[in-house]
Every structure is written in C-alpha cells, then in structure tokens.
Chains A and B, each alone.
Chain A
Amino acid sequence: MNALSSKHDSTDEIRQQKQHRRILLSLLIMSFVFTVNAGYGVARFLETTQHPLRRTNYPNRWIRAAGVPSQAAYFRKTFDLPGPVRHAWIKIAAAEAFEVSVNTNPTGRQYLWRPARPFQSGTSEKGQILSWREPALALNFPRDYQWDGHDNWRLATFVEMTASLRPGKNVIAIEAESRTDSARVTFEGEIQLWSGEIIPIQSDETWYGEPAPLGPQLSDWTEVNYWGNEWRKAVACEGPTSHGLRSVPDAVYRESFQGEWIRHRSASGGEAIVFSVDWEIDKPVDEAWLRLIGNRGYELYVNDTRVRVSSVKPPDLDNGDWIFGRAASFDPTTKPELLDPDEIGSTFVGKQFETPRKADAQLELFNAPFAPANTPFRYKRVTHRVQEAGVIEPIQTLGESRRTPASPDLFPERPQPNALKHDLSSGGYLAYSIGKLLGVGMNRIEMRCLAKPGANWPTQMAMDGGALDSSGKKIEFPQAYSWMARKSTEPEAESLPVSVIGPAYSPGDRLPSMQYRGVALNSSTFRTLFPWSLAMTGLIVGLSVPAILAIAWLLSRQKIAWLWRLLPWHQTSHVDSLPLWLTVAQTIYAMMLTSSVTMCAAVLLETSLVERHEVLWWMDGTAWKIVFVIAAIASAGICLVDRFGRVALPGLKERTHGFTQKMLDLPHSVIWRHLLIWILLLGGFLRAYKLDLQPLDDDEYASTQAVLSIIDTGAPGFVAKDVYYTRSPMFHYLTAIIAFPFGGDLWSMRLQTAAFGVATQWLAYICGVQLLRSRWVGMVSMLLIGVHPLEIFTGHVIRFYQMQQFFALLTVYCFCRGFISLKPGGVSTPASGQHHSSSVDDSPLQVQRWRIATIFVFLSAVLSQEISIAFAPCLIIGYMLFAKDLGWQKNIELVVYSVVAVGIIGMDFIAFQTLCLTRTEGVSPSIEAAVKPHFWYPLNLLSIFIGYSRLHVVPSFFLFCGIPLLKREHNRNALALVAFLMSGIIMTNLLVTSVSLRYLYWLFPIWILLSVDGMRLIVTTLVEIVYPPHENLNRYVVTSGLCCFVCLCSILGSWSLWRIPGSYELRILGDSTTAVRWVRSQKRPGDKLAITEPHTHCAFIEGDKCDYDIAIPLQYDFAVMRDGVLVDRNGGGELISSLDDLIAAFSKGDRVWVVINREKFRTRGKNLRWEYPGARFESFLRQNCELKYRTYLWTVFLWDPARGHYKPFQLQE
C-alpha cells in the first residue's frame, strides 16, 4: 500500500514538475512574443511622430449651389487682375470631390471613386498622396460595399494656380460632386501680384453657384467669357468640419519663389556640377521644404541622404543618372504610352482636354500649336472618295493611292519612348518636404547636376526653402551667395563660390507649374526604430519577469516573508495549491497574452485600414495611443482577476463562479434566443432599410427585366425578338412568383434577396452549432455575416448571388450531415472547451436522406447560378475523403439521384443552348464569364483572403492560424469545411473564366465560420496553457472571453462598420435611374432616348423606351441582328457604335436625349481620357449638345436641332 502510495505520489510529482516546466516554457515563449509585438507597436508609434500631417483650419464657410441641394455643384467667380501675377494658390476641401479650373485650364482635382478603391485615388496632386501603396487586391468587376465614401474632406488639397492666371479678366471655376444631395466645398487662397497687392480667394456668398448650368451652353462654363448673368449666388451651409489635416508644408504653396539663379563660375555648358550649401539650424525642425528650378537632371542630397519620395512616376528630372530598380519598378509593364491626339492625327487636334492641351498659358497662346497648318503632311494625306474625289488618280489602284505619298517626308515630331526617354534638358520647378532629413546643427544641401555633353548653355539652378521649428518660427534658408559649386568630375575639385545671376523669378517672368513631389523618405526610420524598440522592450521584459518570479519564489519559500505581510491581502487565506512563483508566472503569462492579443489585433487592424481614410487615425498616432491604453487596462484587469481569484476573498469566488456559470449556460438560455433573434433582425434591417433608394446596377437591371418579363409573359424575354435571359432560371422564376402578386414592385423583388440573406445568417448559425459544435461560433458567425459590408450590399440586389450563397451553404450543411460523421447536438462553448458529446465520433451517423438532400440542394445552387457547378469536383473530393460506404444499394440509389440531377442540369444547358442563347454577330473584345477550364491571374486564388480594400485580412489571419489547431478537436466537419473552402477557391478560379471576387461570394459564409472557429481555437489554446478550464474556470473564461472580444472588435473595426449608416443616405452606385426618370419627365412626343451600354434595360424600364444603344466600343455580347440592323438585346435600341452613327441619328431631325455613364468612358471631370475609347464621342457631345442634368456618374445631354448650333469635325467622313 505504501509502495503504491509512494508510486502514486511520485507520479503526481512528475506530473506537477512537467506542468511547472510547461508553464515556465510557455512564459518564456510568451515573453518573446510579447517583446516582438510590443517592440513592433512601439516602433510603429514612434514612427508616427515623424508623420507629415498637421492640423489646418478651414477658416471660410462651406458653400453649396443655390436652389435645391444637388449632387453636382458648379461655382465660378470672375475678377480683374490689375497686373501680372507673382503667385497664386488655393487650399480646398470638398464633400466629396472637386475640380478647380482657372481660365478653362483644369489645375487640380479630387475625383470620386468607389470607396473600395484606395483613399485619394482620384487626386491630381500626386505629391500630397499619403501612401503610394498599390491596392492589395486590384478591383475587377467589383460589387460595392455598403459603405459611404472616404472622408476626403479630412485632408485639404493645395493647388498652385500661378501659371494659369493672367492680367485682366480671369475666372476660377470649381466643380463639386457628391454622392449625396449636397455637394459642398470650402477653400481659401491668395493671388499675389508683383505690385504687392494680395487678392484673397475665399469660399463665401460672393461666388456664383448653380446645381447644373441649365440653359443653352454656347460656351464652356469655365471660360472667362461665359455668360453667367443668370447664375445665382452660392449658399453658405454647414460643412462636415471646420478643420482638417494637411500633408504638405503649407509655405510651399503660400509663399512665392525667392530663389536666385546660380552657376559655376568657370564650367562649360556640358560639365557636371555640384552645388552645395551649409544650412545652420539651431532648433529641432518641425517642418522643412525645398523648392528648386534647374535646367539639368540632378540628384538632390540632404546630409548625404538622397532625397527620394514615394511615387509611381517614371524616371524624371530628379532621378539623376539612375533609372533602374527604383520607383519605376511600379510601372505596369503593359501600360502603353498615352495616345497623343496630335501625333495620331485625331479629329480633335489639341483637344485632349477641353482646354487645348498644348496651350501655353505663359505665352497666352491657347491655340493648338500643332494645328493642321503647321503640320500639313499628316492632315492632307487622308483621302476620301466623296470628299476629295479628285485626289485619287485613276491610273493608280486603290491600294497604291493609299501608299506612301510622294510628298516630302517632313518627319513630324515623334513621341519618345517613355521607357528610355529620361530627358534631362527640359528643366523643371520641383518642391520637396525634407523635415525628416534635417537635424540640429549644420546641414548640408547638395544638388548634383548631371553632365550634358554638347550642351552650349550652362548648368544653372535656383533654390529656396525654409523650415519651421516646433513653435512655428521660421528658420531662414541660406542666401544664394552662400552656395558653393564644384566640378564633380575632378576627384578633389575645389569648391568655389557660385556666380549669382539674379532672381530666378521677377516681373515679366513666368515659372513652370510647380510640382510638389512629396515627403522625402528616410527609409532607415523604421529599421532603426524597430531594433531599438525591440531591444528596450526585451530588456524590460528580460529584467522584470525573472525579477518578479525570483521575488515570488523567495516569498513562497518564506525567505522574505516580511514583504508578504506588507501586501494588503496577506491575511486572507491563500487557497491556491501552487507555489507562489508559479502562480505569478501564470499571471504574467496571462497579462502578456492579453496585451499581445490586443497589440496583434491592432497591427492587423492597421494593416486592414491602410487603403482607407481611416489610415489617418494611425498615421498621426492617435490610434496607437488608444491601443496602448486598452492593452494596459486589459492586462491590469486580467491581473486583478487572477490575484483576487487566488486569495479567495470571502464570497467573491462563489459570486464569480456564478457569473461564469451563467456565461457558460448562456447559449442554452432564453436570453440566447433573444440575442439570436435580434441579430437576425439587425441583419434583416441592414438589408431592407431604404431598399428602394439605391439605383439598380447594370446587372441588376438585366435580372429585373427578366423577372418582369416572366411576370408578363411567363418567359424571361427581352425587348429584341427571340432574345431571352440565359442564366439562373430558378432565381428568376422564384423572384417572379414572389413579385407577381405585387405587380413586380421593387420592394418585393429586393426583399426576397434580403430574406435569403437573413436565411444564410441563420444557416450559418446552424452550421456553427452542428458542424463546428459551438453555439458561440455560430452566433458570432451569424453576426459577422449580418454586418459584412459586401454581404449587406449583395443582400438586397435583384441578383442571384445571395440565393446561390444560401444554397451553397445548405449544400455544405447537408453534405456534412450526410457524408461526414457527426451526431447532431454535439455542442460545446468556447469558454468551456468541454464538448457535450464525444469529440471523436466513431460510429458516424451518415444518413442517406441527407445525402439525397445534398444532391437536390446542390441542384438548386446550380439552377440559381450556373457557376455553382464548379462546386461539383469539391463534393466528389469531399465524398472520397469523408464518406463512409453505406452499401451498394444506397450507393446505387445515390447514383440514380445524381443522374437525375445531372439530367436536369443537362436540360437547363440544352434549353440555354437551344432556346436562350442568342448567337452574336461577332466576338466581343471582352470575354464574359463562363464555365470553362483555364488558369490565369494566380493572385485571384488569394482574393477571398484579402478582399477589396483589405476587408478580409483580419479574419483570414485567424483562419490560417487556426487551421493547424483544428486537429486538436478531431472534428471532421471542420476539416471538411476547410477542404470545401480551399477546393472551392481553386475550382472556381480554374473553372470560371473570369477573375473577380464576386464569383467566390458563395464561399463567404464558410470562410467566416472557419475564421471565427480559428479565432476561438487560437485564443482557447493559448489560455488553456496556464488556465486549464477544469482547474481555473473563472480565469479561463475571463481571459479567453476578453481576448476573443478584442479579436472580434478588430474584425468589426476592419470592416469600417461606422461607414454603414451613412451609406443609406447616398447613392452607392452610379445613378442611372434618376437620370432616366428625369429624362422621362422632360420628354416630348417624338423625342428619342439614347443611353450607354449596358444600361439600355434601364431606359426601357424607367424611360418606357430605348431608342438607341450607345456601344463604344462595340461589344457583341449585347447586340443582335434584327431585320438587318444591329440592335441591343435588352432594350431593343438601335446600336450607335461610332461617332458617325450618332451624327446620323442626330441628322434625322428629332430631339435626342443622350444619357451617358461617365464611368463607362472613364471620364470623371473636365479632361477627356483619350487613351480609352469614347473620348471623341464625348467631346462631340460636349460641343454640340446641351448639358441638361447630372446625377452621380451620369450625365444627360440633349441634342436639339432647333437650337441651331453645330460644330462639325475636321475629318468627319
């Protein structure tokens, strides 16, 4: 007995020793993790102390256009300048977008882009862009998020306007645009004249503002002579803020250039010259800047550090002799040089912008310099039988007449190859922010100008600059005579004082437009800070943890018991059986774990927000400060829970146990059911609220038209004869059945999608409970699906994606019930980690009826969206991996049902091929998605884990970290879900011939379920190391609960949930609906309606009839031949696929309403995008039609022959 007892004791002792060693080892590892984590966080925070952002006020009122608040507002102000302009600038903030034009010349802009694109995407002032990071996932046929836009107004934009102003009458025109009904803008600026007079520019009621320039547009509203006498005054209004941030030292824009030309005293024109100056700075610098003008390529150095900025610009003036391996590596390899209409003989010579693009404001020459008279060769070569009948000599063949003409080869100017041009001779006026590179003491500025062999003009440059100390006091830049110059070709060249020529800028001169290049990078900042922070944190942790443990050890050994008595709770009974030093180790581990989880969640959150305006919160360090406080509070809280739990204050333990038990029992309580219902209601509300406000997108119109047609005729027919919608019969017929009693009302159609969205939420909960055996996982997954911005958006569009997602998830659920071992009801909570059923199910309950259900639910998924067929191989793999054989009888039964399902799918395919598929008249230049094996764009294999705007980064982190831990659970369902997710991603990418995240939408719920489960696994695994739930239930529950809560907050934060409420007040999509409805309200009998493809169905549904389909370029997917004429398959309108077609339509004598999607033509502002198709077309519209109405991204033009205005084209055939 004694021997047995002693053996038992010895085993216990060994077990205890093992446990002690495990805890100490874990503490060691956790210390390391904490050190790295904290070091990284501290380094990131310290790095933010050098951020370029500074607060700036918006001193003037916000203004909007007169009348009813509008989405597009036009402001203009004319004024006389009594003399030449020395300097002019403007600081502007808009809600949400703007474009500033001076005397018709667009000088600066911030266009509206989809919020899923990176913040500042549409900014013209490239140097003021905060981050040049490319989107982690480039947008490709995106579906929008239920988000409002980026808060562009948080960051002011500075625009320099000097070169565009001239003595006499001038006009500044500002266009503001917003997704909401109130486009607003605030600005301030100055015009400094050489006479010393300063003319302020400020947003106030002295400006004229109109929602849209109504009435005849005989001239451009941005022109100085535009007749705007009927314009009303702008209205002062409330803006989103009275202050914002700036990323540029404002003196760069506020102050005029003061530099003086300097040269080397004796160097010849071709030599390389190094100019240098020492700049004494006696106080720490807050901001500093340099502006320079040079006539050579150069390298700029500050304190021997090369001035380099983040940029995607190709090699340029400041790139020196080096073009390889720097920012130029960002150049997309396939990006061609821009089409130059002057070079290619376009009909719009000099009209790349509406303002002549080759104009020279300095010379006040606003005519195109390359007009036909100057380059006759290219414009006379065009021959046409009709127009120039006599040109073709009868003895020549047609081909010969078009070969090289006999005219002398004038060698018209050629564009240089951009890749290699690197032209160093043109000179430029550039500015930099260099605050990061300066220090207290003597600072050396060096400009190394390149040699230009053969040049007969000397190297010269002018530079000015300045710095501000922390109190805002200016530190003057050295005078020109302080500069030295040397010939760098001589190794030890003597530096000589420079020859000062005189001011670079004086009355009568004009400078080129300044290019602010951005903040000079100090690439070593983080590399220096991180090791330093790491070392410091390591030192603190390395010293403090052993010290605390040593003290605890001494205390537990009664070596320094007097210290123990000093503690306030020393008299309470200590109920913990473990030695004090070990319990302290546990506490420290838990504290470090909580902090590390918080810091890690913060890092993930920061990574997620990089492409959004929320990055501003991280850049200025505010967010990091909050994170540190949260981490400290969380750690302290855990420490208190731990210590109080161990000393067993009277009654406390029982009370807390009661609380813990309640938490554990929560999933089985009535509250839980209420919670679930509220989450479902939240999901439903988010999808159904203001359901009818959002305009239908192009694809949604197609489905709507098919549904309405089914309601009317029983078949999904379109307007063109014998044309049917070809896809997703189940979705369209089901929607039609639901909508039929309501007469095809929008609410009835969209609500069914919302209902499927809510059903998917509920199904995800069921999957969490029954497949992943955790009600908590189910509930959190349900919540996340409910608030996911893309799920909300897709959850109310009349499109099949939501239905497909529901049936796909149901297929997975049925498959797991039918083919994977699980007895229903095996549920655990993340807190307890104790499964109510056995964790390993040796006698699987794979029920045949679930197997059959799987087949038919999968069939439903395919019929609701055909690309679901890509899921079939996943099911086969799943069967091979997980299914138990139920005998040949049941197998044959299964095969028979499968054959039936395949037969139905086959019938669907045959119906598609024979009845629905419209044979097109050509191959479209863009390929539509289809089910066909292929392999391209491998990055899309990762797209679901990243998401547009990095939406999925945080959950994906938990997913990937959690996968290795799945094995612990022995849950075949979880493994099956992983297999489905991975194989689903691979199969969708390999079998669907288009690259887009939306085709992976059906996998979102599985991805969310696994991410949440991964989060639970990671946290509970880490907590269990020191707090096994059977021993330390309270501490386990509190610690893991807190960590899970932090992680969940990180996920929700990474989805920018605060952007959702505002999104219900604005148009997320381009607003074709309002534009067409407006046209319908204005149409007279006999008027025609033309609309850009593929919104012809919008014209048909909202405008009663679509007369013309503007298809530029012609994409045959939407066109069919009927009675010898190409017509649009949806709206039945005659195709206009060239400018000549449009002119022909105009020549018929009817008024034609032309509704244009600006996004389609890639044109968002004044400048036309000549590198894309459609620019000629839009330019013609602008010149010959009236601009009548605008909505978000849509413009309505009116061609009215009675107006008597027509501007023909030069080379119109």
Chain B
Amino acid sequence: MSIARTLLAEIQRFVVSAFSSLNQLLFIGAALAGTGALTLSLKKSWFTVPVAPQWGANSPADIVGIKPGCMTVFQAVMAIGLMAMILSWLWKRHWTIVSTLIASILCSVTLAFPYFVMLRSPVVSAEASWLQSQHDNLLWLGGDIHNNAEFAHRGWKSKTYLIDLPQQLSVVRLPSWSPWEMGLDRCEDLLLWLGYSNAFCNFVGMGWVMAMIGSSLLLLCSLQRDGIFEFGRAGLALSFFTACVVLAAGVGWSLPFRASQHINRSAELSSQRQFAESLAQLQKAVSLLPVLAQDTYYIAQRGTLEKELGQQTDYTRLRDGIKLERDGRYDQAYSAISSLVESDNPAIRREALRGVMRFAIQDYNSARFELSHDRFWVVIRHQPCNMKLLYLMQLQGIREGRPELVNSMRDWIYEATNRMAFGTKVILRSAANQHCAIAAGMESNAQAISDAQDKAKRP
C-alpha cells in the first residue's frame, strides 16, 4: 500500500514537474521519443542488401536480404546503452553527467556503424556498391533512361540500345601517394573511408536512422536539468564526442594509407618480377582493408600475379577469360567466364556475372535476342536485384514481343526497389510501368495500357 502511495506520489510529482513549463514538457517528450526510437532501432534492420538466395532466385519472392554481421553487435550495444541511460535516470531521477557520457558514446557508436559495414564487411558492402552502381548507371545523364528517353514511347524499341556496364566495382578509392599529399580534393574519399557513401545511404535501414535520432534526442535531453539547458555539460559532451569521433576517424583513415603503402610496395616488387612477394604485399593490403578484395582491379591484378606464378585459381581463370575476350575469341571467352559464375569466391562470382552481362548486352545490341535472353537469365538468378539487368530485360521483353516478361520484370523491380532508400527509385518504377504500357499495347489491352500509364505517372 505504501509502495503504491509512494509510486502515486512520484507520478504526481513527475506530472506536476512535467507541466511546470513548456521546456520541461518538450524535454520529456524528446526523452520519450528518443527512448522509443532507440527501442525501435533494436527491432528494425540497420542495413540490408537484397540478394539472391543460395540456390538462386526464380521469382521476386525469392529475394532475400543480407545484413552485416556487426549489426547485432551494434544493436546489443544500443540495448545496453539504453538500459544504462534509463538506469542512470532512475538512479537520481534526473539526467546526470553519466547519462550525458553514455548518450555521447551511443551517438559515436551509431556514427561508426557505416565504417564497420562498408569497410569491414566486404561482401555486404560490395553487393551494396554494385547495386548502387547499377542504379547510378541507369539514372545518370548519360545513362539508359536519359539516353533512351527519345524513344521512350516507341513500342518497337528498335532504336533502344543498352549502355555498357560501369567500368569498375570499387567500394573505396585508395590514396594515391601519401598523407602529406592529402588535400581538400580528397574530402569525398575521406568520407568514403569512414563508410559514408551513397551505397550505404541507399541501403541503410530504419534501425540505423532510429538509432541516430534516438541517441541524439537522448543526448539533447541529458544536457538539461529541470528544463534548463546546462552549457557546462554540453561543453563536456561536445568535447568527449569530438574526441571520440576524431580518434575513430584517425584510426579509420590510417588503414587506407597503410594499405596503400603495401600496394605501392607490391607494385614495385611486381616490376622487379618478384611476383610471390608482390602477391604477399597485396594480401597484406587486403588484410588491412578487406573491402579491397572486391575491387575489379584487385581481382585482375591478382589474376596477373598468380598467372606469373603458374598457379591455377579462379583469379587466373577469370583473367584468361578476359584475355580471350580481348583477343576476340568470344566463344572461348564466354565459356571461361561463365564457368566462374558458380565460384566460391563472391568477388570472382560478381566479376564473372559482370562478364556474362557484358556479353548479353552486346548480344542485345547486335540483335541476338535469344542469346542475350539466356545470358540475362543466368545473371538474374544470381543477382535478382540488379537494376540494370531488370530494366534491360524489360526492353528485351518488348523487343521479343513477350509482354509477360515485361510485367514480370516490373514486379522484380518493385520488389528490389522496396529495399532501397533513395527517392530516385520512382524514376525506375515509372520507366518500368511505361514499358508495361507498351507491353499491354502488344496485347491490345486498353485497360491494361491505361492502368500502366496511370502507374507510370504515380509509381
């Protein structure tokens, strides 16, 4: 009874204090919203990249999402931090300096998440970068959508040609020389080396956003007492937060430079024809910065070095395939490259699929539609969210007079874009619906045409 009375009194005191001022009310609201957001961040995904299941995708429903392994750790840290925040408040019934420090740590930890995803989770980040690259390739001013806009309404699509794939998959760009020569021109790289790329932004989940909002709101709340903002505490929090960020950024930035040193050394050894040592240096660079192993140039370079050492690996096989392609021996090249699409190495697999897609695009542009169709399907099974491919397959459907393929690809596009954050996805969806309208025209289905056109206007 006495406990209940105490509790009631406490609640009464809380309510009275809450309504004592507008500031107090706002701070309580912010604290509740922050707690809610952080709680939600524990439930929601922080980062998901849509990929094919292990056995390959046959329909949009098969698409699965992969998450970086570190996500669970971050969520656990957030859970512990949230509990600590609540306990710190319950301890004194108001926010203390401990609460401020905890909130600062939570903010810093949340900001560090992109680094651990984009630079320390190579497969996930490479998949994200590859999909983002497809997206940009379609949408930039020289991309398929802009270039083919002139023929957008042509049912035949006979003048619609496909634009080649991006030159290279690269998650981070290396520093060219040394830290001494870092200038303002590398600002973007500095951000990339901390994981802040558009690839991250496009696949970031609600969980991370909620964690950012929640930790920021809690930090804001912890800087006041009784609705009065405490500048001393804010200064401390700011200093602590800045120190954490600077330290973390320093560590983060050191790795590309160290990796670059190894790569420069590797290049030097290669030119001295010490290929084994060169390869070892290259691998040291990758051990420092695992995401380098996903780079198109790394794969090609490693193939060259291993070839010189007389080894037979997937890297050398891919290199041989590309060399055959370069020499114009296309059948042999395709055979070599397509055999690697089942490789255990995801980087090789991706490059091989890129090769297959390259062939398919050339087939399409040369009107060998059956060949291109088959080859596109090889890729789609492995990369069901490859935007470029889905778009191209719609065109293929129109050129081949297969409306069902066009409609099916529209569903794939919707499924894939559901997992993307950028607003530019509506452009893709609109184009997909426009293709469906053309496809419906093939079947003389006026209602379907009208529906598709409506959806193209408001995708």
Give the B-binding residues of A (Cβ under 8 A): 133-137, 299, 306, 314, 320-331, 333-337, 339, 343-346, 377-378, 381-384, 397-400, 402-405, 409, 411-423, 448, 488-489, 523, 526-527, 530, 607, 610, 876-877, 879-883, 885, 888, 891, 894, 919-925, 927, 932, 934-939, 942, 946, 950, 953, 967, 972, 975, 993, 1112-1114, 1137-1139, 1162, 1171-1173, 1176, 1211, 1213
Q: Which of A321, A333, A403 contacts B270 (CB 8 A)?
A: A321
Q: Least Cβ distance of B432 to chain A in Å?
A: 11
| Known pairs A891-B22, A927-B424; A607 contacts B184 (CB<8 A) | yes
Q: Are the CB atoms of A335 and B166 closer together than 8 Å?
A: yes
Name the B residues within 8 Å of A344 (CB-CB). 161, 365
Which 10 A-B pairs have CB atoms at the shortest separation, nearest pair first?
A399-B401, A1113-B149, A923-B430, A885-B21, A325-B263, A324-B301, A136-B184, A133-B185, A334-B136, A344-B161
Q: Least Cβ distance of B1 to chain A in Å?
A: 35
| Known pairs A329-B174, A923-B427; A1138 contacts B150 (CB<8 A) | yes
Residue of B150, B180, B186 most packed against chain A (CB within 10 A) = B150
Residue of B140, B204, B209, B355 most packed against chain A (CB within 10 A) = B140
Q: How far is the CA of A384 from the CA of B158 in the complex (A)?
A: 9
Could you list 20 examples of A-B contacts with CB < 8 Å? A136-B187, A299-B271, A327-B176, A329-B176, A333-B167, A333-B168, A336-B164, A337-B167, A384-B156, A404-B370, A405-B367, A417-B325, A922-B456, A923-B426, A923-B427, A923-B459, A936-B201, A936-B422, A1112-B150, A1172-B141
Q: Least Cβ distance of A78 to chain B in Å?
A: 37
Is B14 part of the binding interface, using a Cβ–Cβ cutoff of 8 Å?
no
Q: Which A residue sits closest to B147, measured CB to CB?
A: A1173
Q: How far is the CA of A1213 from the CA of B149 in the complex (A)?
A: 16
Name the B residues within 8 Å of A419 (CB-CB). 167-168, 296-297, 300
Name the B residues within 8 Å of A378 (CB-CB). 366-367
Residue of B167, B201, B296, B442 most packed against chain A (CB within 10 A) = B167
Q: Are the CB atoms of B366 and A377 closer together than 8 Å?
A: yes
Q: Least Cβ distance of A511 to chain B in Å?
A: 25
Q: Which of A320, A416, A880, A939 contacts B220 (CB 8 A)?
A: A880
Q: Are the CB atoms of A320 and B181 closer together than 8 Å?
A: no
Name the A residues within 8 Å of B197 (CB-CB). 938
| Cβ contacts B190-205/A at 8 Å (1 or 0 each) | 0100001110011010
Name the B residues within 8 Å of A134 (CB-CB). 185-186
Is B133 part of the binding interface, using a Cβ–Cβ cutoff of 8 Å?
yes
Q: Are the CB atoms of B198 and A934 closer together than 8 Å?
A: no
Name the A residues within 8 Å of B152 (CB-CB). 1114
- 5 more contacts with CB within 8 A, not counting A324-B295, A404-B367, A405-B367, are A325-B174, A337-B167, A404-B368, A879-B26, A1213-B158
Q: Which A residue sits closest to B135, measured CB to CB?
A: A334
| Known pairs A321-B270, A324-B297; A397 contacts B365 (CB<8 A) | no
Q: Least Cβ distance of A300 to chain B in Å?
A: 11
Q: How far is the CA of A847 from the CA of B150 in the complex (A)?
A: 60
| Cβ contacts B21-58/A at 8 Å (1 or 0 each) | 11110110010000000000000000000000000000
Q: Which of B145, B159, B266 contacts A1213 (CB 8 A)?
A: B159
Q: Are the CB atoms of B185 and A489 closer together than 8 Å?
A: no
Interface residues of B in 10-26 (CB under 8 A from A): 20-24, 26
Name the B residues within 8 Å of A418 (CB-CB). 167
Q: How far is the CA of A488 from the CA of B159 in the complex (A)?
A: 52
Name the B residues within 8 Å of A939 (CB-CB). 187-188, 191
Is B93 part of the binding interface, using a Cβ–Cβ cutoff of 8 Å?
no
Name the A residues within 8 Å of B27 (CB-CB). 880
Q: Which A residue sits closest to B185, measured CB to CB?
A: A133
Q: Are the CB atoms of A1173 and B150 closer together than 8 Å?
A: yes
Residue of A326, A421, A920 most packed against chain B (CB within 10 A) = A326
Q: Are the CB atoms of B426 and A417 closer together than 8 Å?
A: no
Name the A residues within 8 Å of B181 (CB-CB). 523, 526
Q: Are the CB atoms of A417 and B358 closer together than 8 Å?
A: yes
Q: How far is the CA of A603 from the CA of B422 in the complex (A)?
A: 39
| Known pairs A325-B267, A378-B367; A421 contacts B22 (CB<8 A) | no
Q: Are the CB atoms of B434 and A1139 closer together than 8 Å?
A: no
Q: Are the CB atoms of B423 and A927 closer together than 8 Å?
A: yes
Interface residues of B, count at CB 8 A: 114
| Cβ contacts B118-160/A at 8 Å (1 or 0 each) | 0000000000010001001101111101110111100010110
Q: How far is the CA of A320 from the CA of B271 in the complex (A)?
A: 8
Name the A residues within 8 Å of B136 (CB-CB). 334
Q: How far is the CA of A744 from the CA of B183 in the complex (A)?
A: 48
Q: Are the CB atoms of B167 and A938 closer together than 8 Å?
A: no
Q: Are the CB atoms of B427 and A937 closer together than 8 Å?
A: no
| Known pairs A314-B167, A489-B273, A530-B180; A325 contacts B367 (CB<8 A) | no
Selected interface stretch from B100-108, B227-235, B338-346:
B227-235
Q: Are the CB atoms of B423 and A335 closer together than 8 Å?
A: no
Q: Are the CB atoms of A925 and B145 closer together than 8 Å?
A: yes
Give the A-binding residues of B (Cβ under 8 A): 20-24, 26-27, 30, 129, 133, 136-137, 139-143, 145-147, 149-152, 156, 158-159, 161, 163-170, 173-174, 176-178, 180-181, 183-188, 191, 196-198, 201-202, 204, 209, 220, 223-224, 227, 229, 231, 235, 260, 263-264, 266-267, 270-271, 273, 282, 285, 295-298, 300-301, 304, 322, 325-326, 328, 330, 355, 358, 362, 365-371, 399-402, 421-424, 426-427, 429-431, 434, 442, 456-457, 459
Q: Which B residue sits closest to A921, measured CB to CB?
A: B457
Q: Are the CB atoms of A885 and B227 closer together than 8 Å?
A: yes
Q: Which A residue sits closest to B158, measured CB to CB?
A: A382
Q: How far is the CA of A992 from the CA of B367 in the complex (A)?
A: 43
Q: Are the CB atoms of B167 and A417 closer together than 8 Å?
A: yes
Q: Which of A409, A894, A938 contacts B191 (CB 8 A)?
A: A938
Q: Are the CB atoms of A323 and B301 closer together than 8 Å?
A: yes
Q: Least Cβ distance of A389 to chain B in Å?
A: 15
Q: How far is the CA of A339 from the CA of B146 in the complex (A)?
A: 13
Q: How far is the CA of A417 from the CA of B401 in the complex (A)?
A: 30
Q: Are the CB atoms of A925 and B150 closer together than 8 Å?
A: no
| Known pairs A334-B136, A344-B365; A523 contacts B26 (CB<8 A) | no
Q: Least Cβ distance of B149 to chain A in Å?
A: 3
Q: How far is the CA of A972 from the CA of B402 in the complex (A)?
A: 68
Name the B residues within 8 Å of A1137 (CB-CB). 149-150
| Known pairs A419-B296, A885-B21; A927 contacts B187 (CB<8 A) | no
Q: Which of A328, A337, A345, A972 contacts B161 (CB 8 A)?
A: A345
Name the B residues within 8 Å of A1173 (CB-CB). 141-142, 146-147, 149-150
Q: Are the CB atoms of A950 and B301 closer together than 8 Å?
A: no
Q: Are the CB atoms of B402 and A1171 closer together than 8 Å?
A: no
Name the A residues within 8 Å of B209 (CB-CB). 935
Name the B residues within 8 Å of A320 (CB-CB). 270-271
Q: Are the CB atoms of B456 and A877 closer together than 8 Å?
A: no
Q: Least Cβ distance of A1175 to chain B in Å?
A: 10
Name the B residues within 8 Å of A1211 (CB-CB). 159
Q: How far is the CA of A894 from the CA of B21 in the complex (A)?
A: 13
Q: Are the CB atoms of B178 and A523 closer together than 8 Å?
A: yes
Name the B residues within 8 Å of A1171 (CB-CB). 142
Q: How far is the CA of A972 from the CA of B129 in the complex (A)?
A: 44
Name the B residues within 8 Å of A953 (CB-CB). 184
Q: Least Cβ distance of B193 to chain A in Å?
A: 12
Q: How far is the CA of A420 from the CA of B442 in the complex (A)?
A: 41
Q: How far is the CA of A135 from the CA of B426 in the complex (A)?
A: 30
Q: Are the CB atoms of A417 and B147 closer together than 8 Å?
A: no
Name the A residues within 8 Å of B326 (CB-CB). 416, 420-421, 423
Q: How far is the CA of A403 from the CA of B402 in the complex (A)?
A: 11
Q: Are the CB atoms of A936 and B202 closer together than 8 Å?
A: yes
| Known pairs A923-B456, A1213-B159; A331 contacts B168 (CB<8 A) | yes
Q: Which of B300, B325, B330, B429 contacts A323 (CB 8 A)?
A: B300
Name the A residues within 8 Å of B304 (CB-CB). 321
Q: Least Cβ distance of B326 to chain A in Å?
A: 5
Q: Are the CB atoms of A322 and B456 closer together than 8 Å?
A: no
Q: Which A residue sits closest to B372, measured CB to CB?
A: A404
Q: Are the CB atoms of B26 and A488 closer together than 8 Å?
A: no
Name the B residues within 8 Å of A1112 (CB-CB). 149-150
